[in-house]
Chain A
Amino acid sequence: MIAVIALAVGIVLGLVLDPTAPDWIQPYLPIAVVAALDAVFGGLRARLDGNFDPRVFVVSFVSNVLIAALIVLLGDELGVGAQLSTAVVVVLGIRIFGNAAAIRRHLFKA
């Protein structure tokens, strides 16, 4: 519940303040957002499963974002940045779909 409210507060803050991302973070921001969304969906699924642990959520969130950013950085250094970014988005997308399916089963029993 806290998380949902916090997310809404963050969106409103972003809309109101209209912050500009610093240049160095710009290549990583989209991937980091997708990674964080993956963590959020995972947390939501765990909560519905009844085994949500805030500590696991925090660790998975931070590590997801960091690893995603690292992969993009590594890809850029190796010259395959675009392909690796696509790979990360695909993998995270699959995970998000999996989590969403589990959440759907909980909510609609189907």
Chain B
Amino acid sequence: MGQKKLVNALVAVLCVLLGVALVTQVRRTEVGDTLADQRPQDLVVLLDGLQRREAALRKEITDSEDALHRLRESGDRSAAALEEARQRTVALGVLAGTVPAAGPGLRLTISDPSGQLNPELLLNVLQELRGAGAEAVQIGSVRIGVDSAFTGDSGQITLDGVKLTQPYQVVVIGDPPTMDAAINIPGGVIDAVERKNGKVVSKQEQRVEITVLRPPREPRFAKPAN
């Protein structure tokens, strides 16, 4: 009889234990600390996967940073190239007459009271100035370009189809003393003008401005050859 009681008590104890264990396990699962239950080999596989993923992500970071670096560098380079191209455009524009120019230079006033000056003489003046390093020239209201032409007769000179009025005003940018010396050479253009009863007044200035422009011309036949 006593043994039966003992067995019954054991049944009760086991059932109590089962209840406690059940609740404990459910609670633990609910907490979600599943890593704690995992077997070492599973954890190793998990860790391995995580490490591989970390390595892949790190590689991606490095690649992206490299790409960023490269793009930034090429951006700098193309910005510098653009700036240089812009400066060249401006410099060429001054020579071609498509942009306004300012700088030291001369103001010439050529008067021709007897109307004997011919287009060739004015062309000589221009050549002489160019030879002395003139960079931008304006005669009357015309900007001189590479295709400028003096036409007409003595006293009736046309420049690029525009009739010049007396006295001929020449504004030229370049080194003032050099150009002044060039036109004043004995037997030079000033002598030639004075032989035809004309008169040249040359004034050196630290700053003259040429605002008249030539329209830019697209070459019809020539193309850059590279």
Contact = CB atoms under 8 A, between A and B. Distances in A.
A87 to B, nearest CB: 15
B18 A27 contact: no
A37 B25 CA distance: 13
B12 A6 contact: yes
Given A3-B12, A58-B10, A13 B24 contact: no
A110 interface: no
B81 interface: no
Contact of A11 (B13, B23, B36, B41): B23
Contacts of A2: 8, 11-12, 15
B21 A13 contact: no
A13 B24 CA distance: 10
Contacts, number: 101
B14 A58 contact: yes
Contacts of B21: 14, 21, 29, 32-33, 36
Nearest to A13: B20
B19 A9 contact: yes
Interface in A1-29: 2-15, 17-21, 26-27, 29
Contacts of A6: 11-16, 19
A55 B20 CA distance: 22
Q: In the A-B complex, list the 3 residue pairs whose CB atoms are closest, starting with the nearest.
A: A10-B19, A14-B23, A6-B15
B7 interface: yes
Interface string A31-47: 01100110010000000
A81 B41 CA distance: 9
Contacts of A81: 39, 41
Interface of B: 4, 7-8, 10-25, 27-28, 36-37, 39, 41-42
Nearest to B4: A54
Contacts of A10: 15-20, 22-23
A108 to B, nearest CB: 25
A26 B19 contact: no
B39 A7 contact: no
Contact of A57 (B4, B11, B28, B42): B11
A33 B25 contact: yes
Contacts of B8: 2, 54
B18 A40 contact: yes
27 contacts: A3-B11, A6-B12, A6-B14, A7-B19, A8-B19, A10-B16, A11-B22, A11-B23, A13-B19, A14-B20, A14-B21, A14-B22, A15-B23, A21-B25, A26-B28, A27-B39, A29-B24, A29-B25, A30-B37, A33-B21, A33-B25, A37-B22, A54-B7, A54-B10, A58-B7, A58-B11, A62-B14
A46 to B, nearest CB: 12
A107 interface: no
B41 A79 contact: yes
Contacts of A11: 19-20, 22-23
A32 B23 CA distance: 13
